[in-house]
Homo-oligomer: A and B are copies of this chain.
Amino acid sequence: MREVRVVGTGLIPFGKFPDQTLAEIAWPAVREAILESGVKPKEIGGVFCGTALGGMLAGQRIMKTLGISGMPIINVENACSSSSSALSLGWLSVASGQHDVVVVVGAEKLTKFGGGTLPLEREDWEVNQGMVMPALYAMRARRYMHEYGLTETQLAEVAVKAHEHGALNPNAQIKKRVSLDEVMAARPVTEPFTLWHCCPTGDGAAAVVLASADVARRLEGKDVRIAASEVTSGLYTDHFRDMTWPELTARGARGAFEMAGIGPEDVDVAEIHDAFTIAELMYYEAFGFCGRGEAYGLLKSGATSLGGSIPVNPSGGLLSRGHPIGATGVAQAVEVTRQLEGRAGAHQVEGAKVGVTHATGGGIAGLDHGACSIHVFAR
C-alpha cells in the first residue's frame, strides 16, 4: 500500500437547514475541498460519500450539483461511522493504486426527520423497547458512576469543556460557553443526562480530497498523511459485558496504533466520538490516554483541554460542533488535518504533529456498536 495524503479540506458550519436539500447542504463543502486542494475536477478518480439517512444516491446528487460526474461514485452507510467508513474506502482506493485522487464527502440532513424514529428501530427489538442512544449511554454512565465514584457534577464538566472549545470554532453548531450550573439545571433528558450532556441534532457536510504522495508533492505544502485507517464492528455477544468498557473502540484503537506504529502517548490531538458526556470519558480510557477509572482525573487536570498535553475535541466535538450523523467522520478529518497544518484558528493545538479521529455508532445488540472507524493522521 502506498502513502495517502489529505490535500484538501472543506466544511460548512453545522446547523439546521430544513429548507435545503442534502445536495444543497453538501456541495459547498466539496467545492471548498477541491479548490483548496488545487486538483482539477477531471483528476478526481472516484467519490466516496458517507450518509446514514440521506436517501438514495446522495453522492451522485451532490456531485451533479457541482457539475462533476462520470467517475465512480459510491455511497456508504455505517450509522455514525458512515463518512469515516467512506474515508477508509477512499484511503484504500488511493493506497492500493486504484485511483490517484479521490473525494470523500460526509453529509446529513437530520432536520427532515423531525421527531420521527430512525429506520433501525423497525428491526431492532432492543431499540424498539426504548434502548435509544440517550438511554444506552445513560445506562453506561450510571454503571461508570457506580464503579468509579464519578458524580453528576463531575460528568457535567465534560460538557463545559466541550463548549469552551466549541465557542472558539466558527463552524460549530453551538458557539457559546455554558457554565457548570447551566449544565446541571438544564432540561433533563435521561438520568444522569440533562440536555447539555447530549449532542445536538442538525445538518452538516464535510469533505476531503485524498491523493497519492506523487500528486501531493506536485500540489505543494500537502504534508498530512493518513498513517492508519481502521474499521471494526462489534462482537454482538449475548453474555455479560462490562458496560464501562467500549471494547469496540479499544480494539479499533489498538489496530490503528499498530498500523501507524505509534502509541497513545504519541497523539497530539484527538477528535473522538463524544455523542454524550460519558462517551468522552470512556473513550479516553479505551484509547489509552489514561488508565481505567482515571478519565475524570485526566479531564480535571486540564490535559484534554486546549493548552493541555493531549487536547481532545478542540473543535467542540459532537457536543458542540454538532453531530449530523453521516457528516461527523469527515468533519473530524477536516479538523485534524487543519490542526496538523497549523491553521485551526482560535482553537489551534500548538505544534500538533499526530492526530486521531474516532467515529463509532449504531447501537446494535444493546451495548455493542455496529461500526467504529479510527484514523491516524501525521505530518
Contact A64 B232 (CB under 8 A): no
One of A54-62, A199-207, A269-277 at the interface = A54-62
User: Does A188 sit within 8 A of B, measured CB to CB?
Assistant: no
Tell me which residues across on chain B come within 8 A of A362, comparing CB atoms. Answer: 56-57, 60
Q: What count of chain A residues pass the 8 Å CB interface test?
A: 56
CA distance A93 to B98 in the complex (A): 11
Q: Which of B73, B88, B235 contacts A370 (CB 8 A)?
A: B73
Contact A64 B123 (CB under 8 A): no
User: Does A122 sit within 8 A of B, measured CB to CB?
Assistant: yes
Beta-carbon nearest neighbor of A234 in chain B: B69
Q: What is the minimal beta-carbon distance from A57 to any residue of chain B, in angstroms?
A: 4
Q: What is the minimal beta-carbon distance from A128 to any residue of chain B, in angstroms?
A: 11
Scan residues 77-93 of chain A and give those whose CB is less than 8 A from a CB of chain B.
Answer: 77-79, 85, 88-89, 92-93
CA distance A232 to B69 in the complex (A): 9
The residue in A58, A112, A233 that gathers the most chain B C-beta atoms within 10 A of its C-beta is A233
| Copies of this chain | 2
Contact A370 B233 (CB under 8 A): no
Tell me which residues across on chain B come within 8 A of A370, comparing CB atoms. Answer: 56-57, 60, 73
Contact B71 A233 (CB under 8 A): yes
User: Does A365 sit within 8 A of B, measured CB to CB?
Assistant: yes
Tell me which residues across on chain B come within 8 A of A77, comparing CB atoms. Answer: 56-58, 75-77
User: Does A364 sit within 8 A of B, measured CB to CB?
Assistant: yes
Q: What is the minimal beta-carbon distance from A106 to any residue of chain B, in angstroms?
A: 14
Contact A64 B96 (CB under 8 A): no
Contact B73 A76 (CB under 8 A): no
Q: Which of B72, B97, B251 contacts A232 (CB 8 A)?
A: B72
User: Does A153 sit within 8 A of B, measured CB to CB?
Assistant: no
Contact B72 A231 (CB under 8 A): yes
Q: Which of B56, B70, B95, B233 contacts A72 (CB 8 A)?
A: B233
Contact A60 B234 (CB under 8 A): yes
Tell me which residues across on chain B come within 8 A of A97, comparing CB atoms. Answer: 1, 96
- A64-B364, A69-B233 are known contacts; what are 10 more A-B pairs with Cβ within 8 Å? A22-B123, A55-B123, A56-B77, A56-B362, A57-B364, A57-B370, A72-B232, A77-B77, A89-B89, A112-B122
